[in-house]
């Protein structure tokens, strides 16, 4: 039996059933206005059709969780906009497109193990490890004593993704990136 979620418990990745469809929370924001009652503003994605809706919920609204199957797979390669994943036990390959991968595409690396998420046999997304290591391909040099800005500097990673890193990070450094937020975690 799947869990029951109240809208106040929604987090990114929460999957639930509503109106006979299955939705996954893409973004959520708990709003407590000065007057009136609190509400939850969300962007939800229909896992079957891929349609994204913006919807506001009362935090006490309840929804049944959807039974999502998770299968460990290894990302192999991309060919013509199709991304291939291999079952680690049967060696069967599953092709996915950019729409199915969404934001996860920014952090995908060859030979990385991920979880393919499916509902009633239809794969709709992947779940990445919480952190991924990337080599910094380009960033401006940091200067000794440059501590006036704490915001950091932009860096381009081996996969083309750009993010802000601390001043002490240099080209060739390997860093950990949080796949949930897309932010720098630490130097490896």
Q: What is the CATH number of domain 131-187?
A: 2.40.50.140
DSSP code string of 101-150? HGGGGGG--TT-EEEEEEETTEEEEEE--SEEEEEEEEEPPP-TT--S--
User: What's the pLDDT band for 174 if we cut at 50, 70, 90?
Assistant: very high
Hey, which CATH number is domain 69-127, 3.40.50.300, 3.30.565.10, 2.40.50.100, 2.40.50.140? 2.40.50.140
Start and end residues for every CATH 2.40.50.140 domain found in the chain: 69-127, 131-187
Question: Which of 59-68, 129-138, 148-157, 159-168 is predicted least confidently?
Answer: 148-157
User: For 40-99, what is each residue's pLDDT tens digit?
Assistant: 999 998 887 778 899 999 999 999 988 888 899 999 999 999 999 999 899 999 999 988
Q: Answer yes or no: is pLDDT of 149 > 60.
A: no
Place of tokens 């920014």: 106
Distance CA 174, CA 2 (A): 40
pLDDT (mean) for 160-168: 91
Distance CA 48, CA 146 (A): 50
CATH topology of domain 4-64: SH3 type barrels. (2.30.30)
- Residues contacting 150, CB < 8 A, separation 6+: none
CA distance to 10, 27, 154, 188, per residue, from 24 (Å): 10, 9, 31, 33
User: What's the pLDDT band for 39 if we cut at 50, 70, 90?
Assistant: very high
Do residues 187 and 136 lie in contact, with contact meaning Cβ atoms separated by under 8 Å?
no
Start and end residues for every CATH 2.30.30.30 domain found in the chain: 4-64
Q: With pLDDT > 90 as the criterion, what percentage of the chain qualifies?
A: 49
pLDDT at 49: 78
Q: Answer yes or no: is pLDDT of 143 > 70.
A: no
Distance CA 74, CA 140 (A): 34
pLDDT at 180: 81
pLDDT at 150: 62
DSSP code string of 3-60? -EEEGGG--TT-EEEETTEEEEEEEEEEE--SSS--EEEEEEEETTT--EEEEEE-TT
3-class DSSP assignment, residue 64? strand
Distance CA 61, CA 140 (A): 49
Q: Answer yes or no: is pLDDT of 20 > 60.
A: yes
| Count of Cβ atoms closer than 10 Å to residue 86 Cβ | 16
pLDDT (mean) for 18-22: 89
């Amino acid at each position: 039996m799947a869990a029951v979620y109240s809208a106040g418990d929604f987090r990114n990745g929460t999957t639930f059933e509503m109106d006979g469809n299955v939705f996954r929370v893409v973004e959520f924001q708990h709003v407590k206005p000065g007057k009136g009652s609190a509400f939850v503003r969300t962007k939800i994605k229909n896992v079957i059709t891929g349609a994204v809706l913006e919807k506001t919920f009362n935090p006490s609204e309840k929804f049944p969780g959807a039974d999502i199957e998770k299968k460990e797979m290894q990302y192999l390669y991309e060919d013509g906009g199709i991304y291939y994943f291999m079952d680690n036990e049967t060696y069967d390959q599953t092709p996915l497109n950019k729409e199915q991968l969404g934001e996860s595409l920014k952090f995908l690396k060859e030979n990385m193990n991920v979880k393919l998420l499916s509902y009633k046999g239809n794969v709709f997304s992947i779940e990445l490890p919480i952190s991924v290591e990337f080599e910094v391909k380009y960033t401006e040099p940091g200067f000794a004593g440059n501590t006036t800005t704490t915001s950091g500097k932009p860096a381009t990673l081996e996969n083309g993704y750009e993010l802000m890193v601390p001043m002490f990070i240099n080209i060739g450094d390997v860093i950990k990136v949080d796949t949930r937020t897309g932010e720098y975690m630490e130097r490896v």
